[in-house]
A and B are shown apart, each in its own frame.
Chain A
Amino acid sequence: MNSVISTLLIFVGLTSFPIFALEQPNQKVILTVEGDFENTNAKQAANFDLPMLAALPQYSITTKNPWTKGVHSYQGFSAADLLQLLKAKGTMLEVTALNKYMTKVPVEDFQVNGAIFATHRDGVPMSVRNLGPIMVIYPFDQNLDLKSEVYYGRSIWQIRHIKIAPLAE
């Protein structure tokens, strides 16, 4: 009887710890992605620390922007690679900042206009005070069409959370 109970307990214990496709973060979580996608490491979500984000293909943009002085070199990852990693499908991202400010950024901006989620500025991880840990940045100096209110409005900083909006039916 005891052995039967022990076997049952082991079975319940094993089934109560889900197996995730995505690795677990080892450091402080700086980004949480939610949405309908396959590769997760939490319940209906994917948490990322800085090394996990750094493991994604990296891109850099050197530009001026209206919020800081001078020209800076920003380095980070693309939403297209993030979606590919998560095996997610979506065309719109709902990006929320640490202060709960939210804006929508189309995935197309990362594919066509060359925007990135910057995690480093001038080679240094971006602190909260320096508008980090993650900021959406566009190549403003390379494409003058991007110097408009639309893209300045999408340039959200201190990002903490991304929700992948489902595809429109």
Chain B
Amino acid sequence: MLKGHNWLSRFKQWMMYGFIVLIIVITIALFGIITYTSDSAKQNSRRVFESALWNALQLQVQTYRLLNYLVLLKAPDLPLNGQAYFEYDLLMSRIDLLRDGEVGSLVREFEGGRTTRLLNIMNGELELLSFHISKLEEGDLSYLPSFIDRIQKLDPQLNEFVGLVNSGSNAFINHQHQILQAKLHYIQLLSIALLLCLLCLCFFIAKSFSQLRFAHERNKKLKADMQNSRSDKADLLGFINQQVRPPINAILGTAKTLKQSSHGVPEALTKHIEESGQQLLHTIEMLSDLSLLEAQKLSLQSSTDDLKTQMETFVELTEAQMSRKNLACALYIDPALPNSVHLDFGRFKEIVLALLQNAITHCPAGSISIQLRPSALDAPTVLLPDGTHETRVMQLAIRDTGLGMPHNLQQSLRVNPNLPKQKDSPGVNTVGLDLALCHQLIYLMKGEMHFSCVENEGCEFWVDLPFYVPAEQDPPADRQAITQPQKTALILEQDMNLAKVIELQLTSFNIKVSLAQEDDGHRSLDQYDLILLGQFPGFDNHLEQRLLDCVKTGTTLWSYHSPDLRDTYLDSKSLSFPITQRKLLPLIEALFLDQPKHKDSK
């Protein structure tokens, strides 16, 4: 049935195209005929016809004038002084006009060429009479009678010629008239056909408009139905969220109690129950948000809070997952960002967690480095909420050293709902729940998402999100309050992404950092106040000995890959992932502020 409708619709479409083509063809033909008919050159056929008749009559008149002149010519008129030649030339010019040019071409066709023959006879005779003219001009009037006689003998040919030209001209003009009538008839027929086609086209257009209006109304109704359905789905998920939350919270509470009690329940088990419960709650919240987004009922709940603290808390939520995969992680928050910001932190958390979850999924080993910094994008023009004084944009950059996302996932993610031709956001079935929600939330918050992936080298996401700056800013956090003289540090790490983030963290504490991917065995290590030992392939007994030597001279040694140092004599402070500025702050304070530095005195 549907196929039948499709066929009919296509037939109608082709019919419409056919009509349009037909109208264009008829219009072109119509204008062509009108132009051809109205062409001035063609119109001149009337003038040619009239000229032929006029010149034929002028020939007759001029002949009689010459004859009259000759009859009246007497001896006292001599010498003639060229007058006879003048009269003769006037006559001959008429002969020439009837033989040459357009008139000549027309006259040649009259009566099967009889007119041409007559003209030739008259022309020949008159050319012969030029001898008589010369004699008359010389004053010899003896040639005059024969001259008059021969001119008179031309009279029958002359009369026949004028008659033939007259009848030929009439036939010619009649023929022209018939041609014109035929063209007018064609114009009439084409005009009627054009009118009919236009009427048909108008009918089809009217019908199409009616169908379009019907389709528009149906579409509107379907949209409303779909919106209602989405709204119902959002309500249902909200209800599920409401119903499921208390029992899950109870389970989480039980797990916490068991963990603290001495019932001998393994800690790993309680931790697993806790983690799973949290994950379940997070999934339900995401589903609820996604359905609210689809129903266009999600409204952002902005609040003012400490950005840096919140961000570090969000990252620390993934600590257990990263730890299980033995992933290194460091977070750098640019001090240029304000401490206190006005933002929907709940949705921001969902975005951060979704991107981190994606990075963890595609990263079997290696590191995840995170940066939160001011964006280069201009802030969108929006109405400022109460208590805020400006809008800025921050950029969240998350880089992993994993396998890279599959190509189809990347393709699905490369959809920008802000572009007019790509209205749909990536679906849950193509990019997963985390990224689908993350993508929609970013654009709802008037942000942008970009990413780059290299196979077996990892991915990097850049998310630009606008936020509001509160009118009254909290006093600066204590983490950047360190004002000690500049110290030096060395980071021994093969993963440069991770090392660079840690470098940024230390630099924010006024520490000058050097990076080393490999040890050449000659670097003087005791020049540094602090050495951070990461995953370093060149770690051997020689380096261990050199490190021991410099620790003895007062250099502090930290490490975040403690398994490497398990069988050594090195005494180092072990850092846990994710490495954040909040974690580093008390350590640095203890190291450089509480204890007067003996390195300075060296």
Contacts and interface: CB of A to CB of B under 8 A. Distances in A.
Interface of A: 65-69, 98-99, 127-131, 144, 147-149, 152, 158
Given A65-B101, A66-B101, A129 B93 contact: yes
B89 A128 contact: yes
Interface of B is mostly: helix
A128 B40 contact: no
Nearest to B41: A147
Given A66-B48, A68-B101, A148 B92 contact: no
Contacts of A149: 43-44, 46-47
A66 B103 CA distance: 8
A130 B47 CA distance: 21
Nearest to A152: B47
B129 to A, nearest CB: 14
B116 interface: no
Contacts of B92: 129
A66 B86 contact: no
A67 B90 contact: no
Nearest to A146: B40
B37 to A, nearest CB: 16
A144 B40 CA distance: 9
Contacts of A144: 40
Given A66-B101, A127-B89, 8 more contacts: A66-B51, A99-B65, A99-B90, A128-B89, A131-B93, A152-B44, A158-B90, A158-B93
B527 interface: no
Contacts of A131: 93, 97
11 contacts: A66-B48, A66-B101, A66-B102, A67-B97, A67-B102, A69-B100, A99-B90, A128-B89, A147-B44, A148-B43, A149-B43
A68 B93 CA distance: 11
A129 B96 contact: yes
Given A98-B90, A129-B89, A129-B96, A148 B40 contact: yes
Interface of B: 40-41, 43-44, 46-48, 51, 58, 61-62, 65, 86, 89-90, 92-93, 96-97, 100-103
Nearest to B50: A149
Contacts of B100: 67-69
B58 A67 contact: no
A134 to B, nearest CB: 13
Contacts of B61: 99
Contact of B86 (A67, A128, A130, A152): A128
Contacts of A128: 86, 89-90, 93
A130 B92 CA distance: 9
Nearest to A127: B89
Contact of B103 (A67, A129, A148, A158): A67
The 8 closest A-B pairs by CB, nearest first: A128-B89, A129-B89, A66-B102, A67-B101, A149-B47, A129-B93, A129-B92, A66-B101
A98 B66 CA distance: 13
Contacts of B51: 66
A70 B478 CA distance: 105
Nearest to A145: B40
Contacts of A152: 44, 47
A66 to B, nearest CB: 4
A69 B101 contact: yes
A99 B58 contact: yes
Contacts of A129: 89, 92-93, 96
A106 B40 CA distance: 22
A128 B62 CA distance: 13
For A68, A99, A128, A158, which residue has the most chain B Cβ atoms within 10 angstroms?
Answer: A128
Nearest to B86: A128
A63 to B, nearest CB: 13
A148 B44 CA distance: 7
Contacts of B93: 128-131, 158
B284 to A, nearest CB: 85
For A65, A144, A148, which residue has the most chain B Cβ atoms within 10 angstroms?
Answer: A148
A51 to B, nearest CB: 18
Nearest to A153: B47
Nearest to B101: A67
Contacts of A65: 101
Contacts of B97: 67, 131
Contact of A147 (B40, B96, B103): B40
A29 B93 CA distance: 21
For A66, A131, A144, A158, which residue has the most chain B Cβ atoms within 10 angstroms?
Answer: A66
Nearest to B97: A67
Contacts of B58: 99
Contacts of A69: 100-101
A129 B100 CA distance: 13
Contacts of A67: 97, 100-103
For B40, B43, B65, which residue has the most chain A Cβ atoms within 10 angstroms?
Answer: B40
A135 B89 CA distance: 15
A88 B531 CA distance: 114
Contacts of B47: 66, 149, 152
A65 B47 CA distance: 13
